[in-house]
Amino acid sequence: MTLNPEVDTAKDIRPDRGPMFDADEERRARRKRTEEIAKYVIPVTVMALAIFFWDRLVVWNEIEPYVLPRPGLVLSTLIEDWETLSASLLVTLQITGLALLVAVVGGVGLAVLFSLSRFAEMSFSPFAVILQVTPIVSIAPLIFIYVESRLIGLLLCAWIVAFFPILANTTLGLKSADHNLRDLFTIYRANRWQRLIHLQLPSALPYFLGGLKIAGGLALIGAVVAEYVAGTGGIGSGLAFRILEAGYRLQIPRMFAALILIAITGVIIYATTSLIAHFALRKWHESALKRE
Amino acid sequence: MTVAALKDREPILRMQEVDKTFSGQVVALRRMSLQVNEGDFISLLGPSGCGKSTALRLIAGLMPPTLGRIMWEDGEGKDDIGVVFQEPTLMPWATVEKNVYLPFRLRGQSLRSVRDRIHEVLALVGLEKFGERYPRELSGGMKMRVSIARAIATNPRLILMDEPFAALDEITRQKLNDDLLALKASTGATVIFVTHSVFESVFLSDRILVMAARPGRVIEEIDVTAPYPRGLEWRTSPRYGEIARQTSDALNGALHPAGGLVA
């Protein structure tokens, strides 16, 4: 088929695309379709290639498995040790999930309190900042001395790391309502509560969801780091403990398997929070809009 | 409406010698007096910084006057105002219907009880089919119509409009001017309209307050004695040109005090 529009226009004019449809537009549409496919194909291909070269690197250089295992060995270890690893994964997931939940409730609650009372903000925000800027690894040992329950200790550590972005973002969001809308609410005699529910919280939603994306990853980091500090010991050990344990025993393939599980968990958390943000905002917010 | 009818109108609001000073030194408004009667369409016309928006914010109760008094005849009118800002000022997260519902919602009325009224005002501004849409799906002119629908929905005693059409193109603007007059005719609303367009003020209002800057003040009051409804005929009539000329002269006096119009 020739692309010369003078020859082919008559044939190309389709009622569903309108009379403006021409070769140039078709080219653009095709490029868009290609991009649509490439969006998925390229990352997958590159990832597969990277794994392939990892494998070749080990084989060609005859690297011992206790230095760098082949990807196949990591996979088979993952399957063999699935019982132990999955139990640990569950523990890490629980701590991460719970910490994130408490961070959301605490962060949003504190942000609302701050927006309702300047005094509360002045009194408590220094504590929030101090907790945030002090590295969690340096606080964690104290926490594990003071807190009896290991689970609560881990939860506390993960929460400290995760809650700040939610607090900071939501506080900013609650203050970011359009000033004309605020005037409008004043003119309509809205009370504090109505203002919060109908104006400030919806305005803060995009900010909160941005904070949630960051907090999701941080909760996982917090959970893992805290477990390193808590060290070995006791029941209900998470993935970080498995990595430590495998390290002591020089079970490098197992270390890789646990590491991969943590990475996958992080990616899934990020994807989930992004999806939540997308669905919550797609109707109205600039960040979720498609431009033609 | 005739001039005689003008005089029969009930006063609803009085501004008496109102001053507004910011930070103790910037005089935004000096000695402004104004009587607003039921059914008036008053334009505040002037250059930037003449205090016309300040006057509107004072009337809306968004800030108190530094000196002077603003009195509602029935004592409670300030709870009954509709406002249209220069931007449409819609809640982006809410549909058109929910945006128009806002003033009712803040009064504690259920959506069900006022849905008919919401559809009625949306029909008045020509958007009856757009209730379920989100603001981002609408053009600038349509958003402004939603904003107007929201302002008139509760049948307020007074509607304040702060350069509502300034950001729109000329064609949309003329259309909305026509529609605004039709709306006013059908609802009998009282409007105070801030603008920096001579032609808009002459076309729309029955009274124009020409204002000057530094300090912000009213320098001339011009009655536009032409009957409503007004349309293309009014816009092209010699009388319209005459008043526009008179208004422009007053405004020029405001911009160039050397012209001698300012005492």
**Entry pTM:** 0.84
Contact A183 B60 (CB under 8 A): yes
- Which residues of A, range 172-201, sit inside 8 Å of B by Cβ? 178, 180-181, 183-190, 194, 198-199
Look at B254 and B161; give whichever has higher pLDDT: B161
Select the residue of B87, B103, B134 nearest A188 (Cβ to Cβ). Answer: B103
pLDDT value at position A10? 45
Contact A283 B62 (CB under 8 A): no
Contact A205 B93 (CB under 8 A): yes
- Whether the CB of A54 is below 8 Å from some CB of chain B: the reply is no
- Whether the CB of B123 is below 8 Å from some CB of chain A: the reply is no
Q: Which of A158, A157, A146, A135 is nearest to A265 (CA)?
A: A158
Angle at B5 between CA B3 and CA B6, to 5 degrees: 65
Query: What count of other Cβ atoms lies within 10 Å of the Cβ of residue A18?
Result: 9
Low-confidence stretches of chain A (pLDDT beneath 70): 1-21, 232-236, 289-292
What residues in B contact A182, CB-CB < 8 Å? none
What residues in B contact A198, CB-CB < 8 Å? 91, 102, 105-106
Comparing A11-15, B9-13, B15-19, B39-43, which segment has the lowest mean pLDDT? A11-15
pLDDT value at position A236? 60
What gap in Å lies between CA A94 and CA B173, rounded to an integer? 59
- To the nearest whole percent, how much of chain B has pLDDT over 70? 91
**Rounded average pLDDT over B58-76:** 87
Tens digit of each residue's pLDDT (9 = 90 or more) over B31-64:
999 999 999 999 999 988 888 989 999 999 899 9
Question: In the CATH hierarchy, which fold is given to the domain comprising B3-80+159-259?
Answer: Rossmann fold (3.40.50)
Residue type, A89: L
- Interface predicted TM-score of the whole assembly (ipTM), two decimals: 0.89
pLDDT band for position B172 (50/70/90)? confident
Comparing A55-64, B20-29, B73-82, which segment has the lowest mean pLDDT? B73-82
What residues in A contact B107, CB-CB < 8 Å? 188
pLDDT band for position B214 (50/70/90)? confident
pLDDT value at position A97? 94
pLDDT band for position B114 (50/70/90)? very high
Strands B11-22, B26-37: pairing is antiparallel
With H, G, I as helix, E, B as strand and everything else as coil, classify residue B193.
strand
Q: How far is A115 from chain B (nearest CA, A)?
A: 20
- Whether the CB of A3 is below 8 Å from some CB of chain B: the reply is no
Q: Are the beta carbons of B149 and B183 closer than 8 angstroms?
A: no
pLDDT value at position A119? 93
What gap in Å lies between CA B155 and CA B79, rounded to an integer? 12
**Rounded average pLDDT over B168-182:** 89
Select the residue of A186, A198, A285 nearest B105 (Cβ to Cβ). Answer: A198
pLDDT band for position B26 (50/70/90)? confident
- Whether the CB of B105 is below 8 Å from some CB of chain A: the reply is yes
pLDDT band for position B209 (50/70/90)? very high
Tens digit of each residue's pLDDT (9 = 90 or more) over A127-176:
988 988 888 888 888 998 898 888 888 899 999 999 999 999 999 999 99
**Rounded average pLDDT over B193-216:** 91
pLDDT value at position B78? 61
Q: How far is B9 from chain A (nearest CA, A)?
A: 25
Q: What is the dihedral of CA A143, A146, A149, A152, to 10 degrees?
A: -40
Q: How far is A274 from chain B (nearest CA, A)?
A: 19
What residues in A contact B61, CB-CB < 8 Å? 186-187
Select the residue of A186, A199, A205 nearest B62 (Cβ to Cβ). Answer: A186
Q: Which of B228, B133, B126, B129 is nearest to B175 (CA)?
A: B126
Query: Is omega for the bond preceding B229 within 30 degrees of 0, making it cis?
Result: yes
With H, G, I as helix, E, B as strand and everything else as coil, classify residue A233.
coil
- Whether the CB of B61 is below 8 Å from some CB of chain A: the reply is yes
Contact A187 B106 (CB under 8 A): no
Query: What count of other Cβ atoms lies within 10 Å of the Cβ of residue B14?
Result: 15
Comparing A270-274, B89-93, B165-169, B245-249, which segment has the lowest mean pLDDT? B165-169
Map out the domains of chain B as residue ranges: 3-80+159-259, 90-156
What residues in B contact A194, CB-CB < 8 Å? 105-106
What residues in B contact A289, CB-CB < 8 Å? 136
What residues in A contact B105, CB-CB < 8 Å? 194, 198
DSSP string, B33-59: EEEEETT-EEEEE--TTSSHHHHHHHH
Integer CA distances (angstroms), A250 to A112, A245, A257, in order: 49, 9, 13
pLDDT value at position B166? 86
